[in-house]
Structure 1
């Protein structure tokens, strides 16, 4: 059984407001992951004011170890007009196999979703409890595999997580990861309602212990074939769809966005 952690940050941020935009060192994470028996890990940057720079740092880290897979972090607002170029470089040059975005930076745009569709990349999007727009994303882009971490809320927003379970059950292209979920019965319900093919193991390392997060998946007591899907099979299936040759033209869009606010993006709800 191959165990793949689908959610781990790596590299250096430049915000200096908290761990989430300062540094994501891997030394302790890797030691803990080895003890836990984790075989491969998806890496993406912490928050950064320029994700093109941050993605290149992650690419250098990914190149050091065959266990690593890279996802390109994009800012839906600040990177308007250059998402295709950024993701194209990440996929074609660095071998990345997914996109990461965060509601703290801004809501998903058509530009981001179109690029994910063109490259057939899974799109891991932390919604910060902003559940309702997922209905639109999933409906407008049925060919994009959306992975929503934390059952929709790292802040343990029970209402948001409950609302997310309905979307997980109804939309074939909506998935979740197990990282940071404190209410264990909601993980049980996620597998029951969404099916084992919709749930991916993730740790949100290096700040959460991968062994602790992995123990929650084992505690679900799933049949072997279902546990294999959650622990790695689902992620490997999603990244196997990636198209390495990208679009010939950028997705048109324009506009500007603000730098991330100096707030904790996990305990603060998404801006309206």
Structure 2
């Protein structure tokens, strides 16, 4: 049962505009960002469940984004909502609970606040073990934006909030994998595998060794659709030379446990 931890979708009427506005240098989208486009790629790749990540770049959009992702949730889609530090802890929590959202995506590059912002930490404290978190970590924007997230910040969050179900995208450090491997060695954080334009651009033996050091039970598969092809990213995982049990944990078992999804692989 393959579960994709990392897919971005928008309402059909704004998907093209949103995808263009969030474009990262040197990356070309492989999908259209719509729900129907995601479902087509899921069918083609064998993904059973996709985590649909919503992001509010501005505080005023938090509740509408949470409403949208809550409406997406089904047997094949798990909606990840959003929070923003320009809202109070109480306002953020009220929006999540109002819409029944049980997980959120943080994206410092687009939201404009750092992972070590005290306002964000106050939100994490309120999450406890109730709300799961997946966050971008690493580069991908301007030098100023790149400084908003780092492997060290993830390690500090993991220490400060041991109950938080924390997942760090891009192995905890997009384009700064050396730092991630050093800072997150032994950290109690789940790492996600996406690496646009493809995981296959990293040496397979390095990825395999990283997964085995950290433990497949703390690794989740993510495609970062629509920036990548889920089918190609699954092929990259299958080509790492992991054992069958390790591969099943990475491709779905670990995430099923983290999110409380019934799965024969968990």
- TM surpasses 0.5: yes
What are the ranges of 5 or more consecutive residues in structure 1 without an aligned counterpart? 242-272
Deviations for 1:179-207, whole angstroms, at most 9, x for unmatched residues?
Answer: 12431344223212101111111111123
CA contact (8 A) 1:29 1:210 kept: no
Match of 1:57 in 2: 68
Q: Which has the higher helix share?
A: 2
Among 60, 66, 87, which residue is 1:79 paired with? 87
Q: SS state of the match for residue 19, structure 1?
A: helix
Unmatched tracts of structure 2, length 5 or more: 24-31, 140-149, 262-266
Q: Note if 1:162 corresponds to 2:178.
A: yes
1:200–1:231 CA contact under 8 A, matched in 2? yes
TM-score normalised over the length of structure 1 = 0.75
* Aligned partner of 1:202 among 184, 201, 222: 222
Q: How does 1:177-188 map to 2 (within 5 A)?
A: 177-180=192-195, 181=199, 182-185=201-204, 186-188=206-208
* Aligned match for 1:112, one of 109, 123, 126: 123
CA contact (8 A) 1:20 1:46 kept: no
2:237 to 213, 217, 226: 217
- Distance verdict in 2 for CA 1:33–1:47, change over 3 Å: same
More off after superposition, 39-48 vs 211-220? 39-48
Distance, in Å, in 1 between the alignment partners of 2:15 and 2:57 is 6
1:68 Cα deviation after fit: 0.7
Tell me by how many angstroms 1:72 deviates.
1.4
- Paired with 1:144 and 1:20, the residues of 2 have a C-alpha distance of 31
- The structure-2 alpha-carbon separation of the partners of 1:24 and 1:102, relative to structure 1 and needing over 3 Å to count, comes to same
3-state SS in 2 of match to 1:88: helix
| Structure 2 CA distance for aligned equivalents of residues 78 and 237 of structure 1 | 32
Question: Offset at 1:171?
Answer: 1.3
Residues 118 and 237 from structure 1, CA distance in 2 versus in 1: closer, same or farther, beyond 3 angstroms?
closer
**Cα deviations across residues 68-127 of structure 1 (Å, max 9, x unaligned)?**
11111222x223332221222243xxxx331211122212322221133151x3210112
Give the Cα separation in 1 of the matches to 2:5 and 2:18.
25
Measure, in 1, the Cα distance between the counterparts of 2:165 and 2:238: 25
Residues 215 and 79 of structure 1: is their aligned pair in 2 closer, same or farther, counting only changes over 3 Å? farther
Q: 1:233 aligns with which of 234, 237, 253?
A: 253
Residues of 2 paired with 1:211 and 1:59: CA distance?
Answer: 26
| CA deviation after TM superposition for structure 1 residue 30, in Å | 1.9
TM-score if structure 2 supplies the norm length? 0.76
Q: Given the superposition, is the C-alpha separation of residues 188 and 28 from structure 1 closer, same or farther in structure 2, using an over 3 Å criterion?
A: same
| Structure 1 CA distance for aligned equivalents of residues 9 and 153 of structure 2 | 28
Shift of 1:60: 1.8
Change (3 A) 1:39 1:118: closer
Matched residue of 2:225: which SS? coil
Contact 1:71–1:98 (CA under 8 A) maintained in structure 2: yes
Task: Indicate conservation of the 8 Å contact 1:203/1:209, yes or no.
Answer: yes
Matched residues in 2 for 1:216 and 1:43: separation? 21
